[in-house]
A and B are shown apart, each in its own frame.
Chain A
Amino acid sequence: MRRGTKALVVIFVVSLAAVAAAYAGTTSPKGSASAERAAVMEAHRGGTMKLIAKTAGGTLDPQVNYTLQYWNLYMGTYDGLLAFTKAGGNASFIVVPDIAEKMPTISNGGKTWTFKIRKGVKFSNGKEVTTQDVVASLQRIFKVKSPTSGGFYAGIIGADACLKKAATCTLKGGVSSNPSARTVTINLKAPDPEFKYKLAVPHASIVPADSPAKDAGTKPVPGTGAYYFSSYNPNKQLVMKRNPYFKEWSHAAQPDGYPDQITMTFGLTAEAQVTAVENGQYDWMFDFPPSDRLSEIGTKYTDQVKLNLLTAFWYLPMNTNIPPFNNLKARQAVNYAIDRNAAIKIFGGPKLATPSCQVLPPGFPGHKDYCPYTKRPGAKWSAPDLAKAKKLVQESGTAGQAVSVYSADDEVQKDMAVYVQSVLNQIGYKAKVKPISGNIFFTYVQNTKHKVQINVQQWYQDYPAASDFLYILFGCETFHPGSDSSINIAGFCDKKINDQMKKALKLGNTNPKAADALWTKVDRMVTDASPMATLFTPRHLDFVSKRVGNFTFSKQYYWIIDQSWVQ
């Protein structure tokens, strides 16, 4: 072939390729999106995302830690068999296959879940994920006494023995594997439509089979995510670097991240954190900005403030087993008396929360607006009804009784308790405030031995199911007298309501729509029985530096840190 002809051929081939590429671009949105993302990735990949928090979040072990602070970071460092989609808005509630190749095959009437393990996924130590790692990770949930081992995973066959003797946990009959077929099978005692969510939270992360059979503490456990923890000093800093063995296998489950490195530094007060982010020394603050800086950041730094409604609620659990709140009228009186607007003002103002009377938050499966405890009962809260509250207290015969309002000792919660105390005094009680150190507050108020009458509490969803609010917080089975782990803080147990909850849970296996309708009914029944006074649905406020781009808020895990860029 002559030189001239060769050049013509080259031009022809290149032109053909260009036309083909253009054609592909117009006809395949997936390809276009991927090309677009590659271009964006090329433009913004790199740099260090600098985060700041007042204190460290405790152990770094993904199967033990139960804090939002680190669950936020686990999104980019660990994977489960399944994962919540790393996307903004309601899409983040969708569960997708992660370490599993596809969604499980469910058989045996919903009791047997079979997963095929993806090929080629590697831990940050270079080893490939095997079925043995998956089985060991599920056993490790019990060996490390994960805080949800007795809740989320107690339905696996063999879990009872593991809960009794953690060290020798095998989940015999519950979890098995077939290495040649690359499958793992999980057998449940009963069908559980929410099990997919439970497998997608960090406690079910897949870690190497040789990981320590105890809480790893400050020593990072290798993961499969786009990043790995390279160092952790709880008094100083946590550093995340790119996992050198990571190759994106599912953009929805574990997308590649933009920054090369993510650091979380500890030690600055919330006040100093605001100033540091304003000055661009840090890119994001973990702690909630102090109330006296809210106006400033909401005025001068509007582009850097991100507000998102949460699937959560602030509430006052009332102990239904001891006076005065073992009396329905006394509990209802508190509900009528609380001025939700005042509570919202303490929290930071009407832009940061919405008044509420019920358990399920807006936008949640089963939620339908309902508020019987207001001046004009109906769908929404309008104003407190002090006269009615005082009348109910008199009718209940509990007037003049002493009530202690417990709260964690941080600024907002203590102020909330002082406000509640003031309201209780107004309607006829002799109330006191008892602030407790935030480190022990949550377990302290759960234990019936401490006879906590009423306290300031919040609940943020673990996964998007109505049961995570109604059954977990007000189910008979979640009330454990004398235990520090009795999340039904009100000690509420109404057999009729509990039966309805169980019916709704079962219905979720076959008819999710009917289940949601039943949860709506249960929400109303619980609200009427008044084991708590709901205050409001909070919004989440993120304050980021000027250079942070592509802020994406997942309703499940909040800000997806590694999907934002800093350059």
Chain B
Amino acid sequence: MGEALAGGLSAPPEPETAGASPWALAWRRFRRNKVGVAMLIVLVLIVLSSLVAPLYANHVAHTEPFRSNIDGTTIVNGKVVPVMQDSSTGLGLGVTPIGPTWDPHHYLLGADNQGRDVAARLLYGGRNSLLIGLAAAILTCTLGTIIGLAAGFFGGTVDGVLSRLLDVVWAFPVFLLAICLSTVLATSSYSIGPVRIESGSLVLPIVIIGIVYVPYVGRSVRGEVLSLREREFVEAAIGMGSSSWRLLRSDIFPNVVTTVIVLFPIMIALAIVTEAALSFLSIGVQPPDASWGTIILDGQSLLYTRPTVALAPGIAIVLTVLALNVLGDAVRDALDPRAKHKAAR
């Protein structure tokens, strides 16, 4: 595989690495990065807890996270209390949802303004936020890699057209573009041939977020390909009569894949933050579905009385994005140790 991994290392090989594959070497280097490993564990925990959301809702909290429970009751310290509590002081104005009970069976993190269990919605919301983040990042990296490879390798008119296309997308502020697309698309159903995308479907935020970040990956890959094309091993392959397809598949692509791998966690982080922003603006995930962004929106009107509703998903987003960014750095260091040395210098 790639020259960037194997041939590019100028430092003398470490004794224990002799005979190991570049991926095994990278994994060993990654394991030595304690912060990176810690963040991987955090990320795995977040993903796992989101995956068990139905288990928590059905068997621990015994709650319906997508159904209003405004007139419902719960148990706190052995007493039955209303989930939405009427004010009993002064003029008796306002209704306040129950706060955190710290009891996983009864509104661990309290209720939102529909009387729904915030903890259960946080876990379900995590599933949607992570799914959108992951799927959008895959879409971004796939499209960005294809466009970057084609533009960088074929050059000329192809490069001109594709690069200008990326420039056009790049020219719009990312959030503005995402908001415009979401506003137009998010509340209506669409049919593309036999495929029907219902309004409120998660496919829409995935596609929108996936598209707006394509230039981030596409331009990096294009730059990498332009540089690779001038390298001796590529010229040698051309000299030996390799076809364009073979050149792309066997020589260019393996050398840009590390760039894409390093960008991938960062793209997930960006997609999660963008999804949260769109959902906060009511143009991402549609109610009663939850995502971390929608829960923050639900909590916005409760900031004074029940700050946990907004804080809990906020903390989840911060932890996830931090973990993904640190993980991205750790992956880069593991795949390309020179980058770390360069950064240190």
Binding site for B on A (CB under 8 A): 271, 290-300, 302, 305, 307, 339, 341-342, 345-346, 348-352, 409, 411, 414-415, 417-419, 421-423, 425-426, 432-436, 541
**A292 and B68 form a contact (CB under 8 A):** no
B260 contacts A by Cβ under 8 Å: no
**B84 and A292 form a contact (CB under 8 A):** no
Interface centre among B91, B93, B305, by most chain A C-beta atoms within 10 angstroms, is B93
Question: Which of B27-35, B263-271, B282-290 contacts its partner?
Answer: B282-290
Q: How far is the CA of A296 from the CA of B302 in the complex (A)?
A: 12
**A291 and B95 form a contact (CB under 8 A):** yes
Note all chain B residues with C-beta closer than 8 A to A414: 282, 287
Note all chain B residues with C-beta closer than 8 A to A305: 91, 93
B332 contacts A by Cβ under 8 Å: no
**B86 and A350 form a contact (CB under 8 A):** yes
**B87 and A298 form a contact (CB under 8 A):** yes
Q: Which of B96, B288, B306 contacts A433 (CB 8 A)?
A: B288
**B70 and A345 form a contact (CB under 8 A):** yes
Beta-carbon contacts of B39-53 to A below 8 Å, as 1s and 0s?
Answer: 000000000000000
| A348 and B114 in contact, given A299-B87, A342-B71 (Cβ under 8 angstroms) | no
Q: How far is the CA of A178 from the CA of B67 in the complex (A)?
A: 67
Q: Which of B70, B91, B94, B301 contacts A302 (CB 8 A)?
A: B91
**A349 and B286 form a contact (CB under 8 A):** no
| A342 and B302 in contact, given A295-B96, A349-B93, A422-B114 (Cβ under 8 angstroms) | no
| A339 and B67 in contact, given A299-B87, A351-B93, A415-B113 (Cβ under 8 angstroms) | no
Note all chain B residues with C-beta closer than 8 A to A436: 187
Note all chain A residues with C-beta closer than 8 A to B304: 271, 290, 292-293, 296
6 A-B pairs in the complex with CB atoms less than 8 angstroms apart: A291-B302, A298-B87, A339-B70, A414-B282, A415-B113, A421-B288
Q: Which of A292, A297, A307, A418 contacts B305 (CB 8 A)?
A: A292
Beta-carbon contacts of B79-94 to A below 8 Å, as 1s and 0s?
Answer: 0000010110111111
Note all chain A residues with C-beta closer than 8 A to B306: 292
**A434 and B94 form a contact (CB under 8 A):** no
Q: How far is the CA of A175 from the CA of B304 in the complex (A)?
A: 57
**B199 and A348 form a contact (CB under 8 A):** no
Note all chain A residues with C-beta closer than 8 A to B187: 434, 436
**B287 and A433 form a contact (CB under 8 A):** yes
* Smallest beta-carbon distance B73→chain A, Å: 13
**B89 and A299 form a contact (CB under 8 A):** yes
17 more CB-based (< 8 A) A-B contacts, given A291-B301, A298-B90 = A293-B304, A295-B93, A339-B70, A345-B86, A345-B95, A349-B86, A349-B95, A350-B92, A351-B92, A409-B282, A411-B300, A418-B287, A419-B70, A422-B114, A433-B287, A434-B187, A436-B187
| A342 and B89 in contact, given A296-B304, A348-B95 (Cβ under 8 angstroms) | no
Closest to B83 in A: A345
Q: Which of A292, A351, A417, A419 contacts B91 (CB 8 A)?
A: A351
Q: How far is the CA of A541 from the CA of B300 in the complex (A)?
A: 22
Q: How far is the CA of A414 from the CA of B86 in the complex (A)?
A: 20
* Smallest beta-carbon distance A172→chain B, Å: 47
Binding site for A on B (CB under 8 A): 66-68, 70-71, 84, 86-87, 89-96, 113-114, 187, 199-200, 282, 286-288, 300-306
Note all chain B residues with C-beta closer than 8 A to A341: 71
**Which 4 pairs of residues, A with B, have the shortest CB-CB distance?**
A294-B94, A298-B93, A299-B90, A295-B94
Note all chain B residues with C-beta closer than 8 A to A298: 87, 89-94
Closest to A299 in B: B90
**A291 and B113 form a contact (CB under 8 A):** yes
**A348 and B305 form a contact (CB under 8 A):** no
Closest to A339 in B: B71
* Smallest beta-carbon distance B169→chain A, Å: 26
Q: How far is the CA of A432 from the CA of B199 in the complex (A)?
A: 9
Q: How far is the CA of A218 from the CA of B108 in the complex (A)?
A: 52
**A342 and B94 form a contact (CB under 8 A):** no
* Smallest beta-carbon distance A551→chain B, Å: 15
**A411 and B301 form a contact (CB under 8 A):** yes
Q: How far is the CA of A551 from the CA of B93 in the complex (A)?
A: 20
Note all chain B residues with C-beta closer than 8 A to A345: 70-71, 84, 86, 95
Count how many pairs of residues, one from A and one from B, have CB atoms less than 8 Å apart in the complex. 116
* Smallest beta-carbon distance B292→chain A, Å: 17
**B288 and A422 form a contact (CB under 8 A):** yes
Note all chain B residues with C-beta closer than 8 A to A434: 187, 199
**B71 and A291 form a contact (CB under 8 A):** no
Q: How far is the CA of A302 from the CA of B67 in the complex (A)?
A: 35
**A418 and B91 form a contact (CB under 8 A):** no
* Smallest beta-carbon distance B186→chain A, Å: 10
| A292 and B302 in contact, given A348-B94, A422-B114 (Cβ under 8 angstroms) | yes
Note all chain A residues with C-beta closer than 8 A to B287: 414, 417-418, 421, 433, 435
Note all chain B residues with C-beta closer than 8 A to A419: 68, 70, 114
**B71 and A295 form a contact (CB under 8 A):** no
Q: How far is the CA of A46 from the CA of B92 in the complex (A)?
A: 35
**B71 and A425 form a contact (CB under 8 A):** no
Q: How far is the CA of A298 from the CA of B306 in the complex (A)?
A: 17
Closest to A541 in B: B93
**A292 and B96 form a contact (CB under 8 A):** yes
Q: How far is the CA of A296 from the CA of B286 in the complex (A)?
A: 31
Note all chain A residues with C-beta closer than 8 A to B67: 422, 425-426
Q: How far is the CA of A350 from the CA of B91 in the complex (A)?
A: 11
Note all chain A residues with C-beta closer than 8 A to B86: 345, 349-350
Q: Which of A295, A297, A346, A432 contacts B113 (CB 8 A)?
A: A346
**B90 and A342 form a contact (CB under 8 A):** no
Note all chain A residues with C-beta closer than 8 A to B71: 339, 341-342, 345
Q: How far is the CA of A436 from the CA of B305 in the complex (A)?
A: 27
* Smallest beta-carbon distance B206→chain A, Å: 19
Note all chain B residues with C-beta closer than 8 A to A417: 287
**A291 and B94 form a contact (CB under 8 A):** yes
* Smallest beta-carbon distance A1→chain B, Å: 68
Closest to A384 in B: B71
| A295 and B305 in contact, given A418-B114, A419-B114, A435-B282 (Cβ under 8 angstroms) | yes
Note all chain A residues with C-beta closer than 8 A to B91: 298-299, 302, 305, 307, 351
Note all chain B residues with C-beta closer than 8 A to A346: 70, 95, 113
Q: How far is the CA of A421 from the CA of B68 in the complex (A)?
A: 9
* Smallest beta-carbon distance B147→chain A, Å: 35
Closest to A352 in B: B93
* Smallest beta-carbon distance B294→chain A, Å: 10
Closest to B90 in A: A299
Note all chain B residues with C-beta closer than 8 A to A292: 94, 96, 301-306
Closest to A348 in B: B94
Note all chain A residues with C-beta closer than 8 A to B200: 432
Q: How far is the CA of A299 from the CA of B94 in the complex (A)?
A: 10
* Smallest beta-carbon distance A413→chain B, Å: 12
Interface centre among A294, A305, A417, by most chain B C-beta atoms within 10 angstroms, is A294
Note all chain B residues with C-beta closer than 8 A to A351: 91-93
Note all chain B residues with C-beta closer than 8 A to A415: 113-114
* Smallest beta-carbon distance A383→chain B, Å: 9
Q: How far is the CA of A147 from the CA of B113 in the complex (A)?
A: 36
**B89 and A295 form a contact (CB under 8 A):** yes
Q: How far is the CA of A422 from the CA of B69 in the complex (A)?
A: 9
Interface centre among A302, A339, A342, by most chain B C-beta atoms within 10 angstroms, is A342
